[in-house]
Structure formats: structure tokens, C-alpha cells
């Protein structure tokens, strides 16, 4: 190969290596611990449709999704504060009009028959603002965490800090000056789980440099709600790639990391990984011009803020679990071609937490590799040949030792006979 060909091949080889490393370290090892967070606000409403009987209906809820990461195998999750804000804050008034109008439209269909367009909308608004109907509403809020295998769990908020533009209090410095404290847009959630997949938090995001590659994982709404995608892979996290493009301070005075990796609604709270597979932060906000999202200028909460929130919640992030030991060891064996042992570990992991699409995909690939693997390349064959080789070596050593010992005995015997002859009667 010429020097020119080598020079052309080197970038491609490097890019292939980088892609394989991202897939192994982030895609395979980290993605099972990325979760979807769902918040719904619904209502049970007692509706009186213009003097008729009271009808009790369940108004269709409003819902939001965000992303998060499991930081402890017992079900501790880190995400953004604004992802759970509708669930945490007592902001019921902003949801009441929409929920009441939905309830009226559902309960009063006979009274609304024949009305259309503006007339129908006006009648619904009139019934929704009726004081009697406004008194008959009970809000119902739900917070849920869904794993990448589709299992959904109710969750509770252990620590909450609102977005950076919101004031959370004031402090006085030693000279008496008053300082306003702002939110850090982080929350720690808890659901009931055991031996779950977990992410590993980096020690310090300050070790990052401009241009360092990062991987964003999460559940962008445009994918989760895509009409052309099957629901079978709805809970498989998406991944986008980019670099660190700046280090900044938000309006609340807190450090944030700027990146050109794509982030959109639904990615909020999702973990952002270094190429070493460690979480260096979580996605927090994007950039707008008017009503349009401007990609390439997005921001992350650094890992130090996440660790501080975990301490306040009383949990120490733990980057290991029984599932992760099976999973990570299986990935290592898979990468080194020891497919039969890898398959056993993947099946054990699947029995512990079944249904992960990523696990199913890699397990099917392992089975295909085993079927297509040449006889002499198979791990079992290699071990058998190694055992036969070891047995042959032992036999050769044993028989060789016996032969050498017998030869030595013969030489000694000949030497003794010679000495006897030379020392006999003819020698005197």
C-alpha cells in the first residue's frame, strides 16, 4: 500500500474505531439506564350542562415527556426540574380552563349537538366558566418513570429545583448584602426497583475541553410521537452527537456547558455522555429565534450540580449493579468474539430485567455469529483444541521424561560395565 493510500485509509480507520467505541461504551453499556419521564395532569369533573343532571367525567389529561438517567440501582433518577414542574408546583389554575372545556365537550354532547365552529366553542367556554362547574373539578397528577424495556413505575420527587429564571430565595453575605438565589433546573426522583441498570457519573466536568465529543441520550418528542414509527421501539432512547462548544453562566449565576449536539423537547433531563461512557451533565435548555428552535446552540447542566442534588436527596450515586455486571461482562465477551459465554450472560441479564430492545438486538446478533462462525473459530472448539493440545503436551513431556530417564540409565549401566572390565584381572 502506498503512503497516499495509507494516509487516505487512516481517517476512515479512525472514524470506524470511534464509531465502534461509541456503540460499545455509550450505546450498549449506558443506554439501558436512560429512562423516559412522563407527567400527566387530568381531572375528574362534575359537569352540569345548562340545568340538566350532573354528569361525572374524566377529562382527557394533558401530558409531557422528558428524559432522565438511573444513578442508583434501587430506582433513583436524575432529571431536569422543569420536566417535573407541572407535577410539583401548585399551578393548578393554568390547567383548569383546558381540562374544564374538555370535560364539557365530553359530558354535554347532546346539548352541543347542532352547534359548530365558533358557536360550539363559545358554548363550551360558557359552560366551562360556570361557577358550578368550576367547583366540581378534582385535579389528578401522575408522575411515572418508564425504562427502556417498557416497564412503567410510579415515582415521587425527592429533590426539586426549578429552572434558572425562577427565584428560590435570598441570602445575605457577611457584609449584609442580599443576594437572590435562582433555580438550578434539577430534580431527583425515586421509584421502586432493584438491581437496575445505572449510569456512571463523571467526577468533574471541569476536565472537559472545547471540542471534546459528547453523546446526548433521551426521548425527543418528535420521535416518541412519530406517526410512522412502530410503538415496539418507542422506549428505545435516541442518541445525538456533538462537541463541547463553550462554557457559560446562566441567568441564575450557575455554570452550564454549551454544545452543538441536537437537543429538542423531550430530551430535557437526558444524560450527556463523554466517549468514556461517563455522564458529564444533562440536557437543560435550547435556543430560540422567535418561535423557532435554533439547533447547534444547546446547553447542559454540569455533573457537579447533579451530584449536589443527589446529596440533598440523601442518595450516593452507585455505578454498579447485578444487572450491569452481567451486561458489561457480556459486552466485553461479545467484543472479543467469545459469543457462547456472552450469550449466557445476556440471557441471565434478560431474566433479571426482561424486554430491553438493545439486549434483544445484541442477543440475536450473538446467535447469528454462533451459527455462522467457522468450526475452528468457535469458542468451544478453541477450548477443546486447547485442551487436546495441553493433553498432548503433558503426554509428550511424560514420555520424553521416561525416555530420557531410560537413556540415562543405559549410559550409566554401560559406564559401570566398562569400568568393571578395565579394572578386572587383565588389568593387573
Model pLDDT for residues 177-189, shown as the tens digit of each residue: 888 899 999 999 9
Question: Cell digits for 304?
Answer: 457537579
Best mean pLDDT range from 56-60, 74-78, 86-90, 369-373: 74-78
Query: For position 376, what pLDDT does the model report?
Result: 44
Residue 302 has pLDDT above 60, yes or no: yes
Closest CA to 216 of 3, 83, 369, 26: 26
Lowest-pLDDT range, 36-45, 305-314, 401-410? 401-410
Query: For position 78, what pLDDT does the model report?
Result: 98
The strand pairing partners of 217, in sequence order, are: 239
* CA distances to 18, 64, 155 from 141, in Å: 44, 12, 11
Question: Cell digits for 209?
Answer: 475541553
Query: For position 116, what pLDDT does the model report?
Result: 87
**Distance from C-alpha of 268 to C-alpha of 304, rounded to nearest angstrom:** 17
Query: For position 92, what pLDDT does the model report?
Result: 77
For the segment 43-47, the average pLDDT, to the nearest whole number, is 90
357: left (phi over 0), alpha (psi -120 to 50) or beta: alpha
Closest CA to 97 of 135, 128, 61: 128
Look up the pTM and report it.
0.80
Residue 259 has pLDDT above 90, yes or no: yes
Residue 388 has pLDDT above 80, yes or no: no
Query: For position 141, what pLDDT does the model report?
Result: 93
Q: Are 298 and 281 in contact (CB under 8 A)?
A: no
Share above pLDDT 70 across residues of the chain, in percent, rounded to a whole number = 82
- CA-based end-to-end distance of the chain: 82
Longest dimension (CA), the chain: 149
- Mean pLDDT, the chain, rounded, equals 85
Question: Counting every residue, how long is the chain?
Answer: 428
Residue 77 has pLDDT above 90, yes or no: yes
Query: For position 295, what pLDDT does the model report?
Result: 85
Rg of the chain in Å (alpha carbons): 34
- Nearest 10 degrees: Cα torsion 384, 385, 389, 394: 10
H helices then E strands: how many in the chain?
Answer: 12, 16
* 259 vs 405: which has the higher pLDDT: 259
Q: List, in sequence order, the alpha helices (H) in 292-353.
A: 303-313, 322-335, 339-352
Residue 428 has pLDDT above 60, yes or no: no
What is the SS3 assignment for 219? coil
Amino acid at each position: 500500500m502506498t503512503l497516499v493510500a495509507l494516509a487516505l485509509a487512516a481517517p476512515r480507520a479512525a472514524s470506524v474505531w470511534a464509531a465502534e467505541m461509541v456503540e460499545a461504551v455509550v450505546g450498549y453499556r449506558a443506554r439501558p439506564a436512560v429512562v423516559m419521564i412522563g407527567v400527566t395532569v387530568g381531572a375528574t369533573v362534575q359537569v352540569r350542562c345548562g340545568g340538566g343532571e350532573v354528569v361525572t367525567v374524566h377529562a382527557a389529561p394533558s401530558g409531557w415527556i422528558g428524559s432522565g438517567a438511573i444513578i442508583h440501582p434501587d430506582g433513583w433518577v436524575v432529571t431536569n426540574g422543569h420536566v417535573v414542574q407541572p407535577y410539583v408546583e401548585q399551578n393548578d389554575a393554568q390547567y383548569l380552563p383546558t381540562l374544564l372545556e374538555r370535560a364539557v365537550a365530553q359530558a354535554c354532547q347532546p346539548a352541543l349537538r347542532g352547534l359548530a365552529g365558533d358557536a360550539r366553542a363559545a358554548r363550551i367556554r360558557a359552560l366551562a366558566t360556570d361557577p358550578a362547574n368550576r367547583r366540581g373539578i378534582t385535579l389528578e397528577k401522575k408522575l411515572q418513570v418508564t425504562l427502556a424495556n417498557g416497564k412503567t413505575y410510579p415515582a415521587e420527587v425527592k429533590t426539586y429545583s426549578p429552572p434558572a429564571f425562577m427565584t428560590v430565595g435570598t441570602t445575605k453575605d457577611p457584609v449584609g448584602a442580599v443576594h437572590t438565589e435562582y433555580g438550578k433546573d434539577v430534580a431527583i426522583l425515586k421509584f421502586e426497583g432493584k438491581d437496575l441498570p445505572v449510569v456512571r457519573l463523571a467526577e468533574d466536568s471541569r476536565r472537559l475541553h472545547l471540542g471534546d465529543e459528547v453523546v446526548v441520550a433521551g426521548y425527543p418528542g418528535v420521535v416518541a410521537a412519530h406517526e410512522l414509527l412502530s410503538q415496539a421501539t418507542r422506549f428505545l432512547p435516541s442518541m445525538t452527537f456533538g462537541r463541547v462548544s463553550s462554557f457559560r453562566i446562566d441567568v441564575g449565576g450557575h455554570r452550564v456547558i454549551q454544545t452543538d449536539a441536537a437537543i429538542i423537547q423531550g430530551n430535557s433531563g437526558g444524560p450527556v455522555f463523554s466517549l468514556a461512557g461517563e455522564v458529564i451533565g444533562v440536557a437543560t435548555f435550547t435556543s430560540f429565534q422567535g418561535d423557532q428552535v435554533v439547533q447547534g446552540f444547546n446547553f447542559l447542566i454540569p455533573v457537579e450540580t447533579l451530584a449536589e442534588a443527589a446529596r440533598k436527596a440523601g442518595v450516593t450515586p452507585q455505578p454498579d449493579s447485578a444487572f450491569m455486571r452481567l451486561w458489561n461482562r457480556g459486552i466485553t465477551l461479545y467484543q472479543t468474539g467469545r459469543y457462547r459465554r456472552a450469550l449466557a450472560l445476556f440471557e441471565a441479564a434478560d431474566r433479571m430485567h426482561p424486554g430491553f430492545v438493545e439486549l434483544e438486538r445484541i442477543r440475536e446478533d450473538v446467535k447469528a455469529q454462533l451459527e455462522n462462525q467457522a468450526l475452528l473459530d468457535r469458542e468451544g472448539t478453541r477450548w477443546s483444541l486447547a485442551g487436546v493440545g495441553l493433553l498432548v503436551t503433558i503426554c509428550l513431556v511424560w514420555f520424553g521424561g521416561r525416555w530420557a530417564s531410560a537413556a540415562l540409565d543405559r549410559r550409566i549401566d554401560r559406564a559401570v560395565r566398562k569400568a568393571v572390565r578395565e579394572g578386572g584381572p587383565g588389568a593387573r
